[in-house]
Structure 1
Amino acid sequence: MRFVTAPIRPLIAIGVGLAAVGVIALSGLPDAPDLRLAASPRSVTAPAEGAYWHTRTLWKMTHPRQLGRGSNRYWVEEPRLMEEWTSPDGKAWSGYRPLGVSPKSAADEKAWRRDGSPAMWKRTAEGTVVSLSTKPDKGMVGPVKGRPTTFFLAGQQLSYEELQRMPSNPAELKTWLGKAARTAKVPDAGVDGYVTRVLPSLLHEVPVSKEVRTAAYQALRAMPGVRSLGKVKDARGRTGEGLSFILQKQRSLVATTQVIVDTGTMLLLADSLKTTIDGKPFPNKTWTETMLQVGWTDDEPSVPALP
């Protein structure tokens, strides 16, 4: 393939002011024999497994401001269902459905009950205007407009056929992503950090082969700064291999990512971002994401169903 310059879309966006962490540059790895993803001798047809590459995700974060009145202040958690369907020709549809807020902890629930167990909020405890409800939203679904009919990976717009030719060797895959990072104008000091953030996306976002997902997992385990957590359970009780790495460390701010991988299917089970300032949680940039479904489906795009 021909590498193209495109905006960097990291796996985890943590907002303005949190720049990508700079880490040790790549060294000592053999070059991949072919980084252009040259055309295969025959065209790659749509897979037999289904018409769409589909992800269904439960995303949760703590609302950044407390609710309640007086001494009855409490935190609430905001869960949302997000789904995406992409056909092999790159056309995409997106679904979204807020599930309604609820008290975050047992102590928060007690404070909420003392506050009269409200089901709707128009203002936070500090008076900031909000619109929150305990009831699920009706949700929405529609085509993703204004994007190329390709798959986005490491700043590159790739066809389905090109994804099937991604390197399935960990060293070659790391080298390919490093070249993509430099094409996307990532400074040499930040290449390893960029590659580390991109590798988990190969475990759920794009329809690559299991061999490529395996290479991505093995490459991620070997990246500088990545720590193995051993066997870890996700929010649904599923067990996978846990890995963590510091996404950002700047003065008193530390942002840490954790991923849980099913090493049987080589698919992502969950990921999370935990951000602290002076050792205290920073709710605006702390969340969890649980993959409810990842894979091929023939089901047509529709409003996300309630779990």
Structure 2
Amino acid sequence: MDELIRELYGKPQPGPHAQTRVWRRVTARRRRRRLSWLAVIPAVAAALALFLLIPREQPLEPGRQILLTAATSAASATSRGTYWHVKKLHDGARQTELWVTRQGRAWTAEQGRVTRVTGRSPFSMAGRDLTYDQIQALPADPGELRERVAAMLPAGSEGLLADALSGLLWTKPSPPGVRAAAYRALADLPEVRYLGPATDERGRTGSAFSFGLPSGSRRTLIIDPGTSQVLSSEDGTRSELVLVAGWTDEGPR
């Protein structure tokens, strides 16, 4: 049928404006596609900006993570035994020991000579006596512990907060939950600085932290985060190596 029509009428010729109309349609389609992509670009940019603004979990700085690791170790520690026992080496020469029962009876020893402690508590915080029962009653929540310790400090001694909290880690028979809370509270104090890996005078390795004291000096502690034990303390004028700190059934001898 198509061949018969072509034989009778010849090959049909396009109208004088047909090519122009076709070209306009093609270019219009291309323009619409280009405009649609241009409309998508701002939306993509906005979505990217929103993604960048969304707060995402960031890795904890090394020092804070170390203190939190020590807190976890402290929380899992046991507190079984008859005597709280601390043995320290002062300034590399003088050795002292302390034994305290859960009923508050206490003995000290210096260079091997044992003496019964009478008249006052063997524990203190910022110069004030602190009994065994008061230590046991401290809260195990970091925020509450920080507030309780701050309230116990004498007026004008706000700069001692980090030092008072650190004292709960090794010089006092703090329950595991309190020691863990003290580590977590220290991790939130901006004045506590992480100094990096360190080794004490006995060659024991740990992590060093420091904080300022009202005297203007700084106390540096080396801790073992795996055991949560404080290994040493130094404030520029005095040093203490912690040889033993924990509960035991062996009394003074």
1:83–1:94: 8 Å Cα contact kept in structure 2? yes
Gapped regions of structure 1 (runs ≥ 5): 1-46, 61-77, 98-138, 275-285, 303-307
Give per-residue Cα distances to partners, 1:110-133, cap 9 Å, x unaligned.
Answer: xxxxxxxxxxxxxxxxxxxxxxxx
Give the structure 1 partner of residue 152 of structure 2. Answer: 180
Give the structure 1 partner of residue 205 of structure 2. Answer: 239
Q: Could you tell me which amino acid in structure 2 is paired with residue 178 of structure 1?
A: A
In terms of fraction of residues, the more helix-rich structure is: 2
Give the structure 1 partner of residue 178 of structure 2. Answer: 212
Give the structure 2 partner of residue 271 of structure 1. Answer: 233
Cα distance in 2 for partners of 1:194, 1:203 equals: 15
Cα distance in 2 for partners of 1:80, 1:157 equals: 25
Alignment of 1:195 with 2:195, yes or no, is no
In percent, how many aligned pairs have the same letter? 35
Give per-residue Cα distances to partners, 1:3-57, cap 9 Å, x unaligned.
Answer: xxxxxxxxxxxxxxxxxxxxxxxxxxxxxxxxxxxxxxxxxxxx97221100010
Q: Could you tell me which amino acid in structure 1 is paired with residue 135 of structure 2?
A: L
2:120–2:129: 8 Å Cα contact kept in structure 1? no
Give per-residue Cα distances to partners, 1:124-164, cap 9 Å, x unaligned.
Answer: xxxxxxxxxxxxxxx4111012214x85445353343x433
* Change in CA separation of 1:157 and 1:255 when aligned onto 2, cut-off 3 Å: closer
Alignment of 1:89 with 2:61, yes or no, is no
Alignment of 1:259 with 2:221, yes or no, is yes
1:271–1:288: 8 Å Cα contact kept in structure 2? yes
Give the deviation of 1:168 after TM superposition: 1.5
Give the structure 1 partner of residue 69 of structure 2. Answer: none
Choose the corresponding residue for 1:296, options 222, 247, 250: 247
Alignment of 1:79 with 2:93, yes or no, is yes
Give the structure 1 partner of residue 118 of structure 2. Answer: 145
| 3-state SS of paired residue (2:201) | coil
Cα distance in 1 for partners of 2:222, 2:151 equals: 27
State the structure with more CA Rg.
2
* Change in CA separation of 1:177 and 1:248 when aligned onto 2, cut-off 3 Å: closer
User: What RMSD, in angstroms, separates the aligned Cα atoms of the two structures?
Assistant: 2.2
Q: Could you tell me which amino acid in structure 2 is paired with residue 50 of structure 1?
A: G
Q: Could you tell me which amino acid in structure 2 is paired with residue 175 of structure 1?
A: E
Q: Could you tell me which amino acid in structure 1 is paired with residue 148 of structure 2?
A: W
Gapped regions of structure 2 (runs ≥ 5): 1-77
* Change in CA separation of 1:228 and 1:145 when aligned onto 2, cut-off 3 Å: same
Give the deviation of 1:234 after TM superposition: 1.5
Q: Could you tell me which amino acid in structure 2 is paired with residue 247 of structure 1?
A: L
Cα distance in 2 for partners of 1:226, 1:87 equals: 32
Give the deviation of 1:245 after TM superposition: 1.7
2:82–2:101: 8 Å Cα contact kept in structure 1? yes
Cα distance in 2 for partners of 1:256, 1:194 equals: 11
Cα distance in 2 for partners of 1:48, 1:172 equals: 22
Q: Could you tell me which amino acid in structure 2 is paired with residue 266 of structure 1?
A: S
Give per-residue Cα distances to partners, 1:157-215, cap 9 Å, x unaligned.
Answer: 3343x43332122211111111112xx3x13xx32x12112111101122122221122
Cα distance in 2 for partners of 1:156, 1:222 equals: 26
Cα distance in 2 for partners of 1:230, 1:142 equals: 39
In terms of fraction of residues, the more strand-rich structure is: 1
TM-score by length of 2: 0.62
